Structure 1
């Protein structure tokens, strides 16, 4: 859609318009210190006492009060209506890590659109962080350290297959598909889980407490 026009070397916390606690936002900013808001999420950021470095969207939900508080240079107004504000943000932002907050747990159509976008932007390292879970597009190969018994859910957004080591129910012979087999509520049976997928399109869902494990597996240096 749009080549990245904003580059952040230390990681981006991308804020959506859903419910976000001050504690969750502060924790995300410790890992990804640049705050970017999707449209009306700028109001959420300001209400929590933070000023986003950039606001991206079609601005159909950004309040006049927020506009007045923000520098004009921080507003990136994209008028086309063929993409969501989340997609506009992913298109515009370049960073080694994007943590998405405020995208889980409210309108299910918005949430599904976010997951659809993750699959269409597999090159983006974006992790959606909710109160209970994290969700991300699985890379073609992932080795991750998890406590035995940790829930590992796999949900395909297009047909995809792969192999696994360290899962209670191996996936080696499973033809995953959105309207076919899915992999909810699998679990780690070893302290190291090794996954390989033969195509893009697989979303992986882990408990929120596993975020540090995932960042370590992706090679992101924790501060």
Structure 2
């Protein structure tokens, strides 16, 4: 019965399904729309202030395929550059954002004028990052979206990278759908406490993946399908974390007492 339900969910293009016994099954290939699979299920795309040089086609497919598009402060400058690039004629033109949010300390006046026909939502609260505040906007407008894809950066300022990871924890309180972070070479999301199955087609069984207990210690962590599996191990900073691991099967399983950040290489 379990395998039958998983197959049905895959046909509906859902990135994660939950079984009656608490098992969660993840299909990361279904959130990477640029892999070529048709996307019929609505999702939201949040564009942060990060470079997309060399990944323009992938970023545009993620952006244009979304049913709700949110440009966040300086990310709107990135979108404007994509619209005005010389290569814009060679690929689908970027869709306009449904809403532009942030404290607006990074967006330029030229960009604000360029997108003046779009809706702007000022979120000045400095107790939260623009990314977190953007997810609050998504929560208000999400409708039937089934996941959120955030285009982020995993190089450059370490504080911003850690703030983005922190937002994944906050997102669990703001939204009832999963939030994925896609960077130039990686896809990341939180595995909550419990049991997980991650389905990895051949194009996603690449050179590395990781399991990191970012939010605090995780105990009794067990895995299968990895080159270096865990067997009831405790994970915490200063002791054991799992980086530079790699998937060796089309199914990876993870059981954990507390949330783990799962990251993997993407094409």
Under TM normalisation by the shorter chain, which class is it?
A: 0.7 to 0.9
**Distance in 2 of aligned mates of 1:114 and 1:183:** 20
Distance 2:231 2:65 in 1: 34
**TM-score, normalised to structure 1's length?**
0.79
Q: Is the 8 A contact 2:206 2:247 kept in 1?
A: yes
- 1:196 Cα offset (Å): 2.2
- Contact 2:153-2:184 at 8 Å conserved across structures: no
SS of corresponding position for 1:121: helix
Gaps of at least 5 residues in structure 2 are 1-40, 84-93, 140-144
Q: TM-score, normalised by structure 2?
A: 0.67
Equivalent residues in 2 for 1:54-203 (5 A)? 54-71=99-116, 74-94=119-139, 95-122=145-172, 123-139=176-192, 140-146=194-200, 147=202, 150-157=207-214, 158-161=216-219, 162-200=221-259, 202-203=260-261
Give the number of equivalent residue pairs: 200
Whole-angstrom CA distance in 2 between matches of 1:56 and 1:171: 41
1:46–1:30 Cα change, 3 Å: closer
Query: 1:130, CA displacement in angstroms?
Result: 1.5
Hey, what does 1:22 align to over in structure 2? Answer: 56
Query: Is the contact made by 1:32 and 1:98 (CA closer than 8 Å) also made in structure 2?
Result: no
Shift of 1:73: 6.1
Structure 1 unmatched runs, 5+:
1-8, 210-223
Q: Distance in 2 between matches of 1:121 and 1:132?
A: 22
Map of 1:5 onto structure 2: none
* Greater gyration radius: 2
Q: Is the 8 Å Cα contact of residues 156 and 178 (structure 1) preserved in structure 2?
A: yes
* Deviant stretches of 4+, over 4 Å: 147-150
The aligned counterpart of 1:216 is none
Whether the 8 Å CA contact 1:101–1:129 is kept in 2: the answer is: yes
Q: CA deviation at 1:71?
A: 4.3
